[in-house]
């Protein structure tokens, strides 16, 4: 009997989840097992998440995307968040994180896990304040650990644990200073707790206890980047790199307990720094899968950060990142609505697919070949079927009808594709 997917891989046991992922990724099962045993590929799959359609994250895998949902004190309608989750699954998101930060979230979390075929992630520190109805400084280390265990028992597949921000990394952050300080919500809460209590980060101090919980339920450790840069001015600074070094050490400790790991990364970052940061993470964190927010490549586009993020995400994934956290047009402005969520998902899926082409992922270019073939044949229905967002493509087409069905209103009778096809067939064309 095995304890976790990583334990099974080390023992040479083929799990149901491995079989599904190997088939999806067109990968030999032995190769998959070897990569999992080395920590280079993970399959987040809590033993209690029975609705899960498992996915692999890491080397040789298709780049996956995550969608964030969840209530806040100002927007606390769980029904709307559940609709978002259903829409995210429909739009082929690979993972959904419940980032609820207000009230009693357990019932919603369990409902989400019961219906979600996508991986489900959480950030337990967000839930602690609402669960105990206490100020952050009044929560004890033991209470933080209890919340983690509750999430694991509910069936959460991966959890963001901000264990890399400890007394030493805080000292480095304070010594060097930053323009935008700490922008990670979980990181800022843990920083506040440490400063207000004078204690060490309990996620760092009691990391082995957390690993015991994760191993029992087979929860994947998502090592949170509490000190990720919140502006391009702060990227690749001393605090970010020192935390990354700590995350690499924590990665090895998790692997010793057969706990699967992915490492979270920046944040805001200029384009010319992205590739180097991906190499640095893989080096310092021993090729554990890398999960990035964006990166957002410029700070001046509120309302369009799904675009700034997609630019950075495509470069990051092409350079080695394995998992993209979507960003919506509402980033930095408000809680996203369902339309914002859709735009964020589509932008992230485009970025992920563009990166998969660059990485040479098996079958990635086939999709584009089929679309190009449909365009050459002026097969509009096939184009809509293949499109990332076929609904939008069809709506645009129908909103502006051409004189001839084999053209569009951009070029009309000057359509290059139609006219070239006709000439190659020996047919005459009429432009006027």
> Is 408 flagged in the annotation as binding?
yes
> Is 396 flagged in the annotation as binding?
no
Decide if 11 contacts 2 (C-beta within 8 A).
yes
Q: Say whether 41 sits in a helix, a strand or coil.
A: strand
The pLDDT of residue 101: 86
Return the number of other C-beta atoms located less than 10 Å from residue 125's C-beta. Answer: 28
The pLDDT of residue 286: 98
> Is 285 flagged in the annotation as binding?
no
C-alpha closest to that of 171 among 246, 268, 283: 246
The pLDDT of residue 73: 86
> Is 356 flagged in the annotation as binding?
no
331: left (phi over 0), alpha (psi -120 to 50) or beta: beta
The span from the CA of 84 to the CA of 339, in Å, is 9
In three state form, how does the secondary structure of 188-235 look?
Answer: HHHHHHHHHHCCCCHHHHCHHHHHHHHHHHCCEEEECCCCCCCCHHHC
> Is 332 flagged in the annotation as binding?
yes
Question: What are the chain's domains?
Answer: 63-359 (3.20.20.540), 364-424 (no CATH)
Per-residue confidence in pLDDT tens, the chain, 432 aa: 899 999 999 999 999 999 999 999 999 999 999 999 999 999 999 999 999 999 999 999 999 999 999 988 888 899 999 999 999 999 999 999 999 988 879 999 999 999 999 999 999 999 998 889 899 999 999 999 999 999 999 999 999 999 999 999 999 999 999 999 999 999 999 999 999 999 999 999 999 999 999 999 999 999 999 999 999 999 999 999 999 999 999 999 999 999 999 999 999 999 999 999 999 999 999 999 999 999 999 999 999 999 999 999 999 999 999 999 999 999 999 999 999 999 999 999 999 999 999 999 999 999 999 999 999 999 999 999 999 999 999 999 999 999 888 899 999 999 999 999 999 999 998 888
> Is 194 flagged in the annotation as binding?
no
Q: Say whether 175 sits in a helix, a strand or coil.
A: helix
> Is 268 flagged in the annotation as binding?
yes
Contacts of 383 (CB under 8 A, 6+ apart): 371, 374, 375, 393
The pLDDT of residue 404: 86
Token pair, residue 129, equals 């304040």
The pLDDT of residue 62: 98
> Is 335 flagged in the annotation as binding?
no
Place of tokens 């554990």: 288
CB environment 313-338: b (16+ within 10 A), e (fewer): bbbbbbbbbbbbbbbbbbbeeebbee
> Is 59 flagged in the annotation as binding?
no
C-alpha closest to that of 152 among 239, 210, 101, 237: 210
The pLDDT of residue 104: 78
> Does the predicted model carry a pTM greater than 0.85?
yes
> Is 406 flagged in the annotation as binding?
no
Helix 16-25, helix 29-37: angle, nearest 10:
110
Q: Say whether 299 sits in a helix, a strand or coil.
A: coil
| CA dihedral angle for residue 416, residue 419, residue 422, residue 427, rounded to 10 degrees | -160
The contacts found for 404-408 with CB under 8 angstroms, 24 or more apart, are 406/378, 407/378
> Is 68 flagged in the annotation as binding?
yes
> Is 186 flagged in the annotation as binding?
yes
Give the angle 36-42-47 at the CA atoms, nearest 5°. 110
Contacts of 392 (CB under 8 A, 6+ apart): none
> Is 325 flagged in the annotation as binding?
no
C-alpha closest to that of 69 among 79, 60, 61, 54: 79
> Is 309 flagged in the annotation as binding?
no
> Is 404 flagged in the annotation as binding?
no
The span from the CA of 138 to the CA of 129, in Å, is 9
> Is 247 flagged in the annotation as binding?
no
The span from the CA of 232 to the CA of 230, in Å, is 7
The span from the CA of 164 to the CA of 242, in Å, is 9
C-alpha closest to that of 9 among 51, 45, 52, 50: 45
The span from the CA of 159 to the CA of 224, in Å, is 9
The pLDDT of residue 82: 95
The pLDDT of residue 72: 86
| Proportion of the chain in helix, strand, coil states, percent, rounded to 5 | 55, 10, 40
Burial class from Cβ neighbours inside 10 Å (0-12, 13-18, 19+) for residue 357 reads middle
CB environment 102-118: b (16+ within 10 A), e (fewer): bbebbebbeebbeebeb
268 φ, ψ (degrees, to nearest 5):
-100, 135
Greatest Cα-to-Cα distance within the chain, rounded to the nearest angstrom: 83
């Amino acid at each position: 009997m095995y304890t976790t997917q990583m334990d099974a891989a080390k023992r040479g046991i083929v799990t149901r989840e491995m079989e599904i992922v190997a088939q999806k990724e067109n990968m030999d099962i032995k190769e998959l097992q070897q990569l999992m045993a080395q920590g280079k590929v993970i399959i987040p799959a809590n033993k209690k998440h029975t609705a899960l359609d498992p996915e692999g994250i890491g080397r040789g895998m298709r780049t996956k995307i995550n969608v964030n949902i969840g209530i806040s004190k100002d927007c606390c309608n769980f029904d709307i968040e559940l609709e978002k989750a259903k829409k995210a699954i429909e739009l082929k998101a690979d993972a959904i994180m419940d980032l609820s930060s207000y009230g009693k979230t357990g019932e919603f979390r369990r409902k989400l896990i019961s219906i979600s075929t996508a991986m489900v992630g959480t950030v337990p520190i967000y839930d602690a304040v609402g669960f105990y109805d206490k100020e952050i400084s009044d929560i004890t280390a033991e209470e933080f650990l209890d919340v983690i265990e509750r999430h694991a028992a509910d069936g959460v597949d991966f959890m963001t644990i901000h264990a890399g921000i400890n007394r030493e990394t805080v000292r480095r952050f304070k010594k060097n200073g930053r323009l935008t300080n700490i922008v990670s919500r979980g990181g800022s809460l843990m920083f506040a707790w440490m400063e207000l209590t004078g204690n060490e980060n309990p996620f760092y101090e009691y990391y082995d206890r957390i690993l015991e919980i994760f191993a029992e339920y087979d929860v994947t450790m998502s090592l949170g980047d509490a000190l990720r840069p919140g502006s391009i001015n702060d990227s690749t600074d001393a605090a970010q790199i020192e935390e990354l070094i700590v995350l690499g050490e924590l990665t090895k400790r998790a692997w010793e307990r057969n706990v699967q790991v992915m490492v979270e990364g920046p944040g805001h970052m200029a384009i010319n720094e992205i590739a180097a940061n991906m190499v640095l993470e893989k080096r310092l964190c021993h090729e554990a899968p890398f999960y990035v927010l964006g990166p957002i490549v410029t700070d001046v586009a509120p309302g369009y950060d799904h675009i700034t993020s997609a630019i950075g995400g495509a470069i990051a994934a092409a350079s080695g990142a394995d998992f993209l956290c979507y960003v919506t047009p509402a980033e930095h402005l408000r809680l996203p609505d369902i339309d914002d969520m859709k735009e964020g998902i589509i932008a992230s899926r485009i970025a992920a697919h563009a990166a998969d082409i660059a990485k040479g992922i098996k079958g990635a270019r086939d999709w584009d070949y089929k679309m190009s073939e449909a365009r050459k044949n002026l097969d509009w229905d096939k184009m809509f079927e293949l499109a990332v967002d076929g609904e939008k493509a069809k709506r645009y087409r129908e909103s502006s009808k051409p004189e001839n069905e084999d053209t569009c209103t951009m070029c009309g009778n000057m359509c290059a594709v139609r006219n070239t096809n006709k000439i190659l067939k020996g047919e005459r064309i009429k432009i006027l």
